[in-house]
Structure 1
Amino acid sequence: MDLSKPSTEPEGTPAPAPSAPSAPSAPSVHDAATMIGTPAVAPQDAVPPQPAAPAPAPSAFAPPSPSPFGAPGAPGAQPYGQPPQQSPNPWGPPAGGYVNMPYPGVAAAPQNNGMAIAALVLGILSVPLGFIPFFFWGGALLALVGIGLGIAGMVQASKGAPRKAMAVAGTVLGVLGLCAAGAGTYFTGRIVSKIDDQVNKGLPPSHSTPYDDEYDDEYPSPSPSTKVDVPGKTSALPFGQTFKYDDGVEVTVKEATGYAPEPNKYDPDRPKFAAKVTVTITNNAKDKVELRAALPSARDDKGLESKRMYDFKVESPFSGSLLPGQSATGVFAFGLPEGTKAIQFEIAPGIGKYDGAIWSGPLG
């Protein structure tokens, strides 16, 4: 320190801190040339770096900057409309794009043509089922469905689906199934006809169905026998006689008397002559007899059926039930042509097990 020069630093100012040793600088070109034995070249005067001028602000009318993917058609340019290719680094910028990759789409699923398989299966089943009697309708139904599926399968095959031969085979088998169903219908009819023939052969001729003419030769008429006369059945009983049934019920037609009914203004067609018939029924059976079912009929002496008259001043028809051991009397009126001399009268004490008995005779 030189004491002859006055110090310009004020007293009490701390001395500057010693600076850190600087890093050794790289050898210059001169030093490198000296080291390898070449003459050193005097370095030019170093020009200090000048500060960079600030970039001008972009103008609103400036042309657009080039695309980061390059101009269309240029080598390495990104194809138009394709997403950028992902960089191997997920956090890095995208790469050039999907190179040589098509636009992603949905691939069409291969067609299976299941209708052709179903048509073949249904056609195979319809043929044997159609021949079975009483089940031919099932074969016909399967055949119709098989034909429909076969035609649909052939349409699918024409559009590129496989199994065209199966669709054709299923359609052909469906047609054969319909033919088999027709044969099954014929067999069913024959079987039903045979069953009907056997049933009719087991019936007596009186109970045969409209096929009686077909079996006339198979049922010969009974041999003639001695005819037994049963009054009231095969011949008419005279008035006043009694017909007795097997169970003990007795019916007696006491008399038939002619009379002239009174005119009725409400019945202009009322007959001018009529007959009233008196009937008595006696129940000697073990069960009661329903008299309400005892309905009579009559014919005149010319065989014409007479119309029953509901003449309440004369008639007294049967009603209710007749218990065992009891008797009941009823009166019936029938319109007749004037001049009738005799009538035929028929009545049954009930329906079912009782047949009508017949009386005839002159009018009293």
Structure 2
Amino acid sequence: MTVPTPPDGQQPVDRTPDDHNPWRPPPPGTPPAPWATYPTAPIPAPQSRNGMGITALVLGIVGVVLGLLIILFWLSWLPALLAMIFGFVGLSQARNGRATNKGMALAGVILGGAGLLAAAGGAVLTITAVKTVADGARAKVKEVKSSASAAEKARHLSFGESYTFENGLKVTVAEPKPYTPDDFVLGHAKGNKAVQVTVKVVNTGTARVEVETGLPEVSDAEGASAELLIDGSGRQKVITGYVLPGKEAVGKYAFSLPPDAADRIEVEFSPDAMRWKDAYWSGPTH
């Protein structure tokens, strides 16, 4: 903006107040304004991260306790493994200055290792015990089978041998002899071969024993049941009633055999078929 020139050649007077001139230097002797100071808040110290060490210690204790319980050892490996993991993390934080419970973290690692060892030991003991029990059971089964096989074998005899039943009756079947029936005969077809089977029963016990089944069963060489022969000769005798201690009873029976299957027979007999398994006598016929 142009300032008009005053008359008489006078210079224009600057009437701008001093306090409105930002570029005017300060008057001499005036000190500069001091910088303003502001209060500063204290910087908080970093918090310690002790959770990993505490967790490792607790899990380590749980792992060791479960490992010492035989029935719960299989549960101890998980807390023990976690204790070692958290313990190593806690040790790392302690080395970096972010945790102050290095001892807890180290204890968690140690207890975790102990828990894993306890779990492994429990597993070994359990496997060993199970194997021992299984081996014992197999041996027992084998023994029972062997005993049953021996008992079964003992019940198969040759003619002339004896077998003693559990009631004390000792039974012997003699070698069959040829038998000639009389004219009046039942159960004997023409052309068949007749044989006589003699069964002797001796009471070896101290009390009388009843013979419940006095009739033997006879099979021919082909395994077919032979037919009981009955005639009027009176030579046949059926064992019935009681046998006193030290006494014997003898039964005589005649059977009819087909001529093509009469060379060998098997006699099956038990003094009480409802209680005792049959014994078997076999051999050739003459």
TM-score w.r.t. the length of structure 2 is: 0.44
Question: Comparing both structures, which one devotes a greater share of its residues to strand?
Answer: 2
Q: Considering Cα pairs closer than 8 Å and 6+ residues apart, tell me whether 1 or 2 has the greater RCO.
A: 2
Q: Normalising by structure 1, what TM-score?
A: 0.35
The structure whose residues are more often helix, as a share, is 2
